[in-house]
Chains A and B, each alone.
Chain A
Amino acid sequence: MSKLLREYDAHIDTLLTIAKRDEMYVVARWHKRDFYAAIWRNHQLDENRIGQDTGLGLYVFTKTGHVAFGSTNELSDEAILKLYTELKHAAIKNEDLGIAKAHEIYDLNPQVNLGEDSLHYQHKPLLDYELDELPKILAGLDKRAVKACPDASFNGMGNIEQDQWRIVRSDGTDVDFSIPKVRLSARATIRTDDGSAESMYRGAGNSVEDLKAALAATDDHFEAGIKQAIEQAAAPSIKGGSPAVIMDAELIGMIAHEALGHPAESDIIAGGGSVLGDDNGRFKSGVTVADAGINVTDHEEGLIHGFHPYGAFGNARERVSIVKDGKLHESISDIFSAARIGVPNKNCERSESYSAPAIPRMSNTYVHIDNHQNMVEDDSVSKAVIAQRTLQANGMFKDHPTVLYIQGMSGGSVNPAGGTFMFGTQYAYEITTDSITPYKPVSFSGDALSALKSIRFGAGEIDTSDFGFCGKNSQSAHVNSGGNALVFLEPNESLTVA
């Protein structure tokens, strides 16, 4: 039995009883969302916003597996029964028309509520948070930005989001969880006689204290980022090409997410729209996409940004090994398309609000390189210098006298059907054994199936601190991505920097 959203027990009982009488199968998702946003502009807290809403997303299945979905945020008996009745008739109409079935819903085993307090019940009333802490952090960063660059414009936002979910099914499943998220993002815009540039700084946690700890861990990045933006404003644009590249954890994580993760989603493969599916719509399990020792995984236990303990239909989400020892292994799958594409179901479906249909999505996606090299650590020098020393220590300049170091993520995209991916970067440096030359940020694009094949070595431990949002079917999902702290890619004609 769930602990959360118990105020809807009576509605749930009524809904399950009526569905049983009608020989219908229902999956009901109650979702309560609270949010707070502090908007910092022009050196002051310019606005704060608060929001509250609870709604119901409801699937109604006929015995044959024909289905309809709907939602409402008017949570009265009358409104819920009206929705149920409309959906029942739509599902029956689908059966009459002989269109799509989703009979796999009956293959799901009832799920026991996992119920761990440490992972599933971390919420508290929104007004119990110290809401004024986020503006205080932003004020401190603003002062530092102006000190580092008196002409800098500084803008930022702090957010608290709290989603509580309760998922109930006709088979007795009744699971719940809540994951609070506290997040801060800031942007300094630099103007010099040479032009303009931006520096981004951000952090995330599950509480204000968590956020402070995350920011403290990267505190020196703030001024360093402003310094890099000043350099960047005056820097030339790089000539396009396919150079040897060393990238940070954010960017190798982006390759994992965009190039491998999206094409590995089972709904895309089943629909015939993924380069990782064969002509029969099966996942190309076993195909070599990287050297031995290179792995890509999705899902991490713990309250990290993209984590959620259950799939949106209520069964426990499982870890996915997308690439294992260089070979495609498993898909980001759900019960409805796993068997169709020949992979095990991992309950990876997500729904980002009560009104959104569930679709297979990534959560936290990381590249792990076995037998990685040591990274040359030195807190007193820039990241570009650390990259240079790491390249030197691994003898990379012998075969590649010039290497492009790219750092910091600036969003990405993929075309799963053609396998083309791209992402933006925040900073770029051309590194030789005795020089480091800044360039304006570059875009990195290439072919999904060959991207990982260029990896020659990784250095440093897995960095999982990067977080962001992923868009699919008009739903924005919290995700994480990352990998070894530095990863070197040999020149490859199918990977372009411009």
Chain B
Amino acid sequence: MSIQDTIEPYIRALEHDTSIIKWRLYASYAEQSTVGFSKKSVADIYQPASQQDGLSMQYAIELEGTKIAYGSINPTQTNPDDMITLAHKTAIVSPEALMLASHPKSSTLPKLIPDSGYPANLLATLLPEATRIRELLLEGDPKSIEGELQGTHRHTAYADSTGTSVQVEANRFEGSYELDGRFDVSFSTRSYDQLVPNLQKNITENLAFGKALREDIIKPAKKHLPIFLMGGGELIDKFLLNHLSGMSILTGSSRFTKEDFEAQLLVTHPSVTLSFDQTRDLHIDSFGIDSQGVMSQKYTAIQNGKLVEPICDLKSAHRLGYTARTGSNTGEAVLNNLKTFEDLSAATGTYLLAFSALGIHTQNGLLGTYSLPCAECLYFKDGKLVGPVKPVITGNFFDVLKSDTMQFVSTHREQEPMLFFETDVTFS
């Protein structure tokens, strides 16, 4: 049964119930195939060859008296009448009517499935591919390997009481491996053909980094150093993007207010612009429509260091008077004209290359202070690798955001740019 066939009886039941003022439905069916691998084997008990199929449906229903019920059900287990009964039993008086997204008639959805489609019997295809990647990694004799190849084919359908009906089909393929329990390498794509070649591309270089991290830890005398941090976008998410959320601004948990946006407050160095484009064909960060019915868009959150607009969901957009968006993270930002790691590291000479920072999620996003151990980190002096280090980087990230040294840096190793900045550091 197609996802549209699944959702149809619920649409009819909602349309025929006169006690219902407005409604929206979002249903999703996903088929997912996964094969894990480790140093010892492929598809072991902890990362087995697995086939996971799942169906879910979210509803939002407004009843008389501005009473709204939100919920999620399994359409194979809860029929339309029972869903409406559940809504009547759990609806509460809401501060405002149910919000429905507006959809321009001319809007088009990005293409999320390549012409090559989705492979038939993917699970069987992934098994030998996982075996091959594992064998390549074993050539570097790492202490441990943990990896995974995964493909997902998802069908979604959105409908609401304005007559809007949208269906989207999307592929997603992801591959990752971790060496020595120390650093991750990952790649995501809409096209299966690109998955394995891209994952294989830098294995030799990554094995060399893994080997370097196993050498004896050194303790440089430096107390302040530039750092290239992989996955550093999470710091921008924690200390900046989280504060741009419309709901955070409404609830007072953001460090910014609506007035700050109206005043176009300068919050980063003027060289920083954070724009998002969710509409690019076959791009991994694109999508069709979210569960609230908001379609993919292009928008800018920070322009030349200044606040542009909060990133609002339907409810906060209505309350704050902005356009509803689907939130993104820094890793999904469109960052053009980046310096490459090769160029900037050559120009910098002495620096840290950190493969991760532990516990970014534990930092206090309101205070700006950070204190993060970088368990997997290499020290380079005058352009040459000296050895592995165990630094704790500290400082105030609000100051980092405004510094003229912070920048995003592209690397052939990772899809997401690295973050480069200067920081205080203590070595242990």
Given contacts A271-B146, A424-B363, A97 and B127 within 8 Å (CB-CB): yes
Contact of B43 among A86, A100, A153, A494 (CB under 8 A): A100
Given contacts A413-B358, A417-B182, A51 and B95 within 8 Å (CB-CB): no
Within 8 A of B (CB), among A65-85: 67-76, 79, 83
Given contacts A73-B55, A99-B127, A443 and B77 within 8 Å (CB-CB): no
A-B pairs with beta carbons under 8 Å apart, 16 shown: A50-B69, A50-B86, A53-B56, A67-B45, A75-B77, A86-B123, A90-B123, A94-B43, A100-B41, A153-B252, A195-B366, A240-B424, A271-B144, A411-B361, A418-B182, A441-B369
Contacts of A414 in B (CB 8 A): 358
Task: Given A79-B53, A413-B361, output 8 extra A-B contacts at Cβ < 8 Å.
Answer: A53-B72, A68-B50, A69-B48, A99-B131, A271-B39, A272-B181, A447-B428, A496-B426
Given contacts A52-B77, A273-B144, A445-B371, A47 and B70 within 8 Å (CB-CB): yes
Bound state CA distance, A71 and B247, in angstroms?
Answer: 35
Contacts of B373 in A (CB 8 A): 420, 422, 445, 496
Contact of A94 among B49, B55, B315 (CB under 8 A): B49
> A51 touching B71 by the CB < 8 A rule?
yes
Chain B CB within 8 A of A403 CB: no
Within the complex, what minimum Cβ distance (angstroms) separates A267 from chain B?
A: 5
Contacts of A59 in B (CB 8 A): 48
Residue of B nearest to A71 (CB): B52
**How would you classify the secondary structure of chain B's contact residues: helix, strand, loop or mixed?**
mixed
Chain A CB within 8 A of B253 CB: yes
Bound state CA distance, A111 and B69, in angstroms?
Answer: 42
Interface string of B28-56 (1 = CB under 8 A from A): 00000000001111111111111111111
Contacts of B48 in A (CB 8 A): 59, 67-69, 357
Q: Please give me the 5 A-B residue pairs with the lowest Cβ-Cβ distance, nearest first.
A: A153-B252, A417-B181, A273-B181, A424-B362, A100-B41
Contacts of B77 in A (CB 8 A): 52-54, 73, 75
Given contacts A53-B77, A410-B362, A415-B375, A355 and B52 within 8 Å (CB-CB): yes
Contacts of A94 in B (CB 8 A): 42-43, 49, 127
Within the complex, what minimum Cβ distance (angstroms) separates B260 from chain A?
A: 13
Bound state CA distance, A76 and B77, in angstroms?
Answer: 10
Bound state CA distance, A441 and B367, in angstroms?
Answer: 9
> A423 touching B49 by the CB < 8 A rule?
no
Bound state CA distance, A89 and B124, in angstroms?
Answer: 9
Bound state CA distance, A30 and B370, in angstroms?
Answer: 43
> A418 touching B376 by the CB < 8 A rule?
yes
> B39 touching A272 by the CB < 8 A rule?
yes
Contacts of A272 in B (CB 8 A): 39, 143-144, 180-181
Bound state CA distance, A357 and B52, in angstroms?
Answer: 10
Within 8 A of B (CB), among A110-161: 127, 131, 153, 155
Residue of A nearest to B1 (CB): A74
Chain A CB within 8 A of B400 CB: no
Within the complex, what minimum Cβ distance (angstroms) separates B46 from chain A?
A: 5
Within 8 A of A (CB), among B365-383: 366-367, 369-373, 375-376
Bound state CA distance, A50 and B285, in angstroms?
Answer: 29
Chain B CB within 8 A of A2 CB: no
Contacts of B95 in A (CB 8 A): 42, 44, 46
Bound state CA distance, A49 and B94, in angstroms?
Answer: 13
Contact of B70 among A48, A52, A67 (CB under 8 A): A48
Residue of B nearest to A55 (CB): B54
> B76 touching A48 by the CB < 8 A rule?
no
Within 8 A of A (CB), among B348-368: 356, 358-359, 361-364, 366-367
Given contacts A268-B181, A357-B48, A415-B358, A50 and B71 within 8 Å (CB-CB): yes
Within the complex, what minimum Cβ distance (angstroms) separates A172 from chain B?
A: 21
> A415 touching B359 by the CB < 8 A rule?
no
Bound state CA distance, A68 and B47, in angstroms?
Answer: 9
Interface string of A84-104 (1 = CB under 8 A from B): 001101110110010111100
Chain A CB within 8 A of B90 CB: yes
> A155 touching B367 by the CB < 8 A rule?
no
> B361 touching A496 by the CB < 8 A rule?
no
> A440 touching B39 by the CB < 8 A rule?
no
Chain B CB within 8 A of A261 CB: no
> A48 touching B90 by the CB < 8 A rule?
yes
> B253 touching A99 by the CB < 8 A rule?
no
Within 8 A of B (CB), among A484-498: 493-494, 496, 498
> A51 touching B72 by the CB < 8 A rule?
yes
Contact of B124 among A54, A93, A494 (CB under 8 A): A93
Bound state CA distance, A274 and B135, in angstroms?
Answer: 22
Chain B CB within 8 A of A198 CB: yes
Contacts of A456 in B (CB 8 A): none
Contact of A415 among B50, B56, B376 (CB under 8 A): B376
Chain B CB within 8 A of A389 CB: no
Contacts of A89 in B (CB 8 A): 124
Bound state CA distance, A228 and B380, in angstroms?
Answer: 42
> B44 touching A440 by the CB < 8 A rule?
no
Chain A CB within 8 A of B185 CB: no
Bound state CA distance, A153 and B92, in angstroms?
Answer: 22
Interface string of B112-128 (1 = CB under 8 A from A): 00000000000110011
Residue of A nearest to B424 (CB): A240
Contacts of A418 in B (CB 8 A): 181-182, 375-376, 390
Given contacts A93-B124, A424-B362, A49 and B49 within 8 Å (CB-CB): no
Question: Which of B90, B361, B375 neighbours the largest number of chain A CB atoms within 10 Å of its CB?
Answer: B375
> A336 touching B46 by the CB < 8 A rule?
yes
Contact of B428 among A54, A55, A413, A494 (CB under 8 A): A494
Given contacts A97-B127, A424-B364, A493 and B428 within 8 Å (CB-CB): yes
Given contacts A440-B369, A498-B371, A70 and B74 within 8 Å (CB-CB): no
> A355 touching B54 by the CB < 8 A rule?
yes
Chain B CB within 8 A of A205 CB: no
Contacts of A75 in B (CB 8 A): 76-77
Contact of B359 among A41, A48, A72, A422 (CB under 8 A): A422
Residue of B nearest to A94 (CB): B43
Within the complex, what minimum Cβ distance (angstroms) separates B23 from chain A?
A: 15
Contact of A422 among B53, B56, B90, B358 (CB under 8 A): B358
> B73 touching A53 by the CB < 8 A rule?
yes
Chain B CB within 8 A of A237 CB: yes
Within 8 A of A (CB), among B97-148: 123-124, 127-128, 131, 143-144, 146
Contact of A443 among B45, B49, B362 (CB under 8 A): B362
Chain B CB within 8 A of A296 CB: no
Within 8 A of B (CB), among A299-315: none
Bound state CA distance, A87 and B49, in angstroms?
Answer: 8
Chain A CB within 8 A of B89 CB: yes
Bound state CA distance, A143 and B62, in angstroms?
Answer: 29
Within the complex, what minimum Cβ distance (angstroms) separates A190 from chain B?
A: 9
Given contacts A271-B38, A355-B54, A494-B428, A131 and B90 within 8 Å (CB-CB): yes
Contacts of A42 in B (CB 8 A): 95, 250-251
> B366 touching A357 by the CB < 8 A rule?
no
Within 8 A of B (CB), among A451-498: 473, 493-494, 496, 498
Within the complex, what minimum Cβ distance (angstroms) separates B145 from chain A?
A: 8
Chain B CB within 8 A of A197 CB: yes
Contacts of A368 in B (CB 8 A): none
Contacts of A424 in B (CB 8 A): 359, 362-364
Chain A CB within 8 A of B255 CB: yes
> B358 touching A445 by the CB < 8 A rule?
yes
Bound state CA distance, A17 and B23, in angstroms?
Answer: 45
Bound state CA distance, A267 and B356, in angstroms?
Answer: 22
Residue of A nearest to B77 (CB): A54
Chain B CB within 8 A of A391 CB: no
Chain A CB within 8 A of B200 CB: no
Bound state CA distance, A442 and B369, in angstroms?
Answer: 9
Given contacts A94-B127, A100-B41, A240-B426, A412 and B70 within 8 Å (CB-CB): no
Interface string of A186-218 (1 = CB under 8 A from B): 010101000111100000000000000000000
Within 8 A of B (CB), among A321-355: 336, 355
> A153 touching B251 by the CB < 8 A rule?
yes
